[in-house]
Amino acid sequence: MTKSRRFSEDGIPQGFLASGPHTYKSRGVARVDRDPAAPADVWLLDVRGEFDRDTLPCLRAALDDAYAANAERIALDLSGVTFGDSSFLNELLQADRRPGTLLLIGPFTGQIRRLFELTRADMVLTLVPDRDSAGLT
């Protein structure tokens, strides 16, 4: 039996909408939740876990929903991201090129901070230290 690349070893689809319109999960190690208490013009997404090519679809699905809703401002709270590889960084860079404003909110873990610094993505992406600095408290 041949499995699509969109399915994990156990046959669970990656990046599926898990439990309602505000939660996106990938196999329990990556999760994105939309904060419904955020201002109406902002899609505030809490991003948690480890992100690589296998778990990235849940972030991509959340971002696609935000763009489909014509969000003018998307804020990703990355304070809960414990790992991100080059595919994670590429997804952030692609999202930054789309219409609207993309904010990446910390505090960032050491690994994520190093990823941004070593690739110089911190010179391209809009990084803010916390929700207060983003005006989202």
Task: Please report the pLDDT score of residue 12 as a whole number.
Answer: 40
Task: Please report the pLDDT score of residue 21 as a whole number.
Answer: 58
The amino acid that residue 76 corresponds to is: L
For the entire predicted model, the pTM comes to 0.84
Task: Please report the pLDDT score of residue 91 as a whole number.
Answer: 97
CA–CA gap between residue 122 and residue 127 (Å, rounded) = 7
Q: What is the mean pLDDT of each run of 10 residues along the chain (137 residues)?
A: 38 44 80 90 95 94 92 96 97 95 97 97 97 89
Q: Is the Cβ–Cβ distance between 119 and 89 less than 8 Å?
A: yes
Task: Please report the pLDDT score of residue 37 as a whole number.
Answer: 86
Distances (CA, A) of 116 to 3, 65, 123, 124, 132: 34, 25, 8, 9, 21
The whole-angstrom distance between residue 130's C-alpha and the CA centroid of its chain comes to: 16
CA–CA gap between residue 9 and residue 12 (Å, rounded) = 8
- Is the N-terminal amide bond of 39 cis, ω within 30° of 0? no
Task: Please report the pLDDT score of residue 24 as a whole number.
Answer: 87
